[in-house]
Amino acid sequence: MQAIESNPGRYGLSAGEVTRRKRLVQEVGGEIEDMREELARKLDSAPAGGKDRTGAGGTGGGHSDLPDPNAFAIPDGEGDDDNYAEFEQRQQVQMMREQDEHLDGVFQTVGNLRRQADDMGRELEEQREMLEVVDTLADRVGGRLQTGVAKLQYVIRKNEDRWSSCCIAVLIMVLIILLVLLLIL
């Protein structure tokens, strides 16, 4: 702890984090000390040589409220590797389940995208066919319009020359008649 307090940056810690950890160690130490005192009081208040709940004879006072600490001990070399391997296996199974769920979601998304792409392809094909029909009809109408415009231009040219000449001749005649009438009257 002294090495960390002297240079917390070397261990990737800030001074505040070192202080927080030191305070935590002191609090936990105080709680452990309180537990020891309470255990000592219980041991002192129990009758000497009594039996605990399990029926075993007590040594150094009765253990009527507390279980035997050796009941929690794991024999050396037994269970550590098996528990760790079992834990690792459970973790891997859980990770594989999560990956399967994610892959199922991706599969559904890809399936939706494929269906949308198929729908879009069908729509584009239908629109292409409609555009071909419209294009064919537009070509026909355009050809007919060009033929009609050419005929109209021909008629206009033919009528323009005749009618304009006739109109000019009629106007000249009207002017002559008016001049004659003016002179006579």
Q: pTM for the whole thing?
A: 0.34
pLDDT tens across the length of the chain (185 residues):
677 777 777 777 888 888 888 888 888 888 898 888 888 888 887 665 544 444 444 444 444 567 777 767 666 555 455 678 888 888 999 999 999 899 999 999 999 999 999 999 999 999 999 999 999 998 998 888 899 889 888 877 776 666 677 788 889 999 999 888 888 87
Q: What is residue 20's predicted lDDT score, i.e. its pLDDT?
A: 87
Q: What is residue 154's predicted lDDT score, i.e. its pLDDT?
A: 85
Q: What is residue 53's predicted lDDT score, i.e. its pLDDT?
A: 44
- In the chain the beta strands, taken as DSSP E runs, fall at none
Q: What is residue 61's predicted lDDT score, i.e. its pLDDT?
A: 47
Q: What is residue 130's predicted lDDT score, i.e. its pLDDT?
A: 94
* DSSP codes, 154-178: HHHHHHHHHHHHHHHHHHHHHHHHH
| H or E element, residue 3 | helix 2-6
For 117-143, letters b (16+ CB in 10 Å) and e give eeeeeeeeeeeeeeeeeeeeeeeeeee
Return d(Cα 107, Cα 114) in angstroms, integer. Answer: 10
Q: What is the token pair recorded at 9?
A: 């940056």
Return d(Cα 15, Cα 23) in angstroms, integer. Answer: 12
Q: Which residues pair with 51 in a beta bridge?
A: 57
Residue with tokens 């600490």: 69
Q: Which amino acid is residue 85, in one-letter code?
A: A
Length of the chain: 185
C-alpha distances in Å from residue 70, one per residue of 56, 67, 75: 13, 9, 10
SS3 75: coil
